[in-house]
Amino acid sequence: MTELLLLNSESATNRLVLLHGWGADANDLVIVGKLLTEGLKDRFEIVSFSAPQPHPSGSGRQWYPLYPHKWEQVPNAVLDLEKRLKNICFKNIPLNKTLLLGFSQGGAMALELAKRNKFAGVFAISSYPHPDWKPLKDMPPIFLCHGNIDQVVPKEASQKSLDMLLKNGVKSELYFFDGGHEITNDLIDHCRVKIKQEFLI
């Protein structure tokens, strides 16, 4: 199993960390990472992690079991991922120059990591908050994105995350795009603009 994929690490000044969804693997979001960072004035290293557990279907990975949900495994899954994240050298590219992007189950993991690490910003796409997730005031900016016709994770899940974030004074916003449980070209364009506007000043 590929633990992680690393691209463009030479001479990069910024980093994009990718967390895939349930049943995918480290390869899944690499093209998204490339499209998001190509042609930007700052060079980005791209790190894409593979979840540690095999998916029950026999292909792909999972951060923790779903169907049935094993929420009790979430705290250890978050600690394990945080350890792996800290193993990346942050001397050259610090956390405040690191963006985190998670999709679906990876988005839920990204929301957890955002409580504990001062990233430059976090994109949680088609995500959901874990049952015990409670935002903290000093979290990095959170950009939630969700498809209007998502039939896997209802868009109300991201609305719930947004309400909790705003209530706790976290800089956050929610963008609904035309689509289902997917990452569309329109969404990539939207996130790219956000990266340019918010982080590459």
Domains and CATH numbers, the chain: 4-199 (3.40.50.1820)
Q: What is the pLDDT of residue 40?
A: 87
CA angle 42, 101, 192 (to 5 degrees): 45
Q: Beta strand 4-7 with 44-49: parallel, antiparallel or unpaired?
A: antiparallel
Element (DSSP H or E) covering residue 74? helix 74-86
Q: What is the pLDDT of residue 178?
A: 94
Q: What is the pLDDT of residue 70?
A: 94
Q: What is the pLDDT of residue 112?
A: 97
Q: What is the pLDDT of residue 2?
A: 60
Q: How many CB atoms lie within 10 A of CB 117?
A: 19
Q: How many residues does the chain have?
A: 201
Peptide bond into 68 cis (omega under 30): yes
> Which residue positions in the chain have pLDDT lower than 70?
1-2, 89, 201
Q: 163: which residues sit within 8 A by CB, 6+ positions away?
A: none
Chain segment 123-133, per-residue pLDDT in tens: 999 999 999 99
CA angle 131, 141, 18 (to 5 degrees): 75
| DSSP conformation letters of 11-64 | T-SEEEEEE--TT--TTTTHHHHHHHHTT-SS-EEEEEEPPSEEPTTSSSEESS
Q: 69: which residues sit within 8 A by CB, 6+ positions away?
A: none
Q: 151: which residues sit within 8 A by CB, 6+ positions away?
A: 180, 181
User: The pTM is what?
Assistant: 0.95
Q: What is the pLDDT of residue 159?
A: 97
Beta-strand runs (E) in the chain: 4-7, 14-19, 44-49, 53-54, 61-62, 98-103, 121-125, 142-147, 172-177
Which residue's structure tokens are 């495994």? 73
| Nearest one of 90, 82, 118, 28 to 142, comparing CA atoms | 118
How many Å apart are CA 17 and CA 47, to the nearest integer?
A: 5
How many Å apart are CA 26 and CA 1, to the nearest integer?
A: 9
Q: What is the pLDDT of residue 28?
A: 94
Average pLDDT, the chain: 92
